[in-house]
């Protein structure tokens, strides 16, 4: 019995180590791919760092409603995307990850940001209480099942 617990413990440690090395290797640059949904003819999009005001980091030309940014950042930073001629902007965390954006001119449609750990955390924190409760209940259920398995070994 003791042998099985030690074996399970060692296996978990190995998995944690392997996952941590993969996470630390991770993405070494950011890649933002975006699409704009607008009735207006738009030509430029701007990437700003949000630190004591806005600081322009980069700009890109919009071609067929699509744009992209590439670069590197040492740490995740608060940023914003602004399309020239549209008043609505999108806040996000700029981090070394692949980030996809769907930007809508209409205030009735929320913009979509997918990609990056910090953006996922932000999305979770901005979700409604009922959605957060469902995610918490699912993760708590999975944790309870895992703990029962560990105790039974």
Q: What was the pLDDT predicted at 4? A: 59
- Each residue's pLDDT, cut to its tens digit, for the chain (153 residues) gives 555 565 655 555 455 444 444 454 567 899 999 999 999 899 999 999 998 889 999 999 999 999 999 999 999 999 999 999 999 999 999 999 999 999 999 988 999 999 888 888 877 766 555 444 554 555 555 555 556 656 665
With a CB cutoff of 8 Å and minimum separation 6, the contacts of 101 are 32, 33, 34, 35, 81, 90, 92, 111, 112, 113, 114
Smallest CA-to-CA distance from 90 within 76, 108, 111, 114 is with: 111
Q: What was the pLDDT predicted at 94? A: 93
Q: What was the pLDDT predicted at 118? A: 85
Q: What was the pLDDT predicted at 123? A: 73
């Amino acid at each position: 019995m003791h042998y099985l617990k030690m074996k399970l413990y060692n296996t978990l440690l190995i998995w944690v180590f392997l996952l941590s090395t993969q996470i630390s290797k991770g993405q070494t640059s950011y890649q933002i791919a975006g699409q704009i949904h607008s009735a207006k003819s738009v030509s430029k999009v701007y990437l700003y760092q949000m630190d004591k005001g806005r600081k322009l980091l980069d700009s890109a030309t919009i071609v067929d409603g699509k744009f992209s940014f590439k670069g590197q950042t040492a740490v995740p930073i608060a940023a914003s995307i602004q399309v020239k001629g549209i008043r609505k902007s999108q806040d996000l965390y700029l981090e070394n990850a692949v980030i996809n954006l769907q930007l809508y001119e209409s205030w009735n449609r929320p913009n979509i940001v997918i990609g990056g750990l910090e953006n996922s955390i932000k999305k979770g924190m901005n979700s409604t209480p009922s959605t957060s409760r469902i995610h918490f209940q699912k993760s708590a259920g999975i944790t309870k099942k895992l703990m029962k398995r560990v105790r039974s070994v």
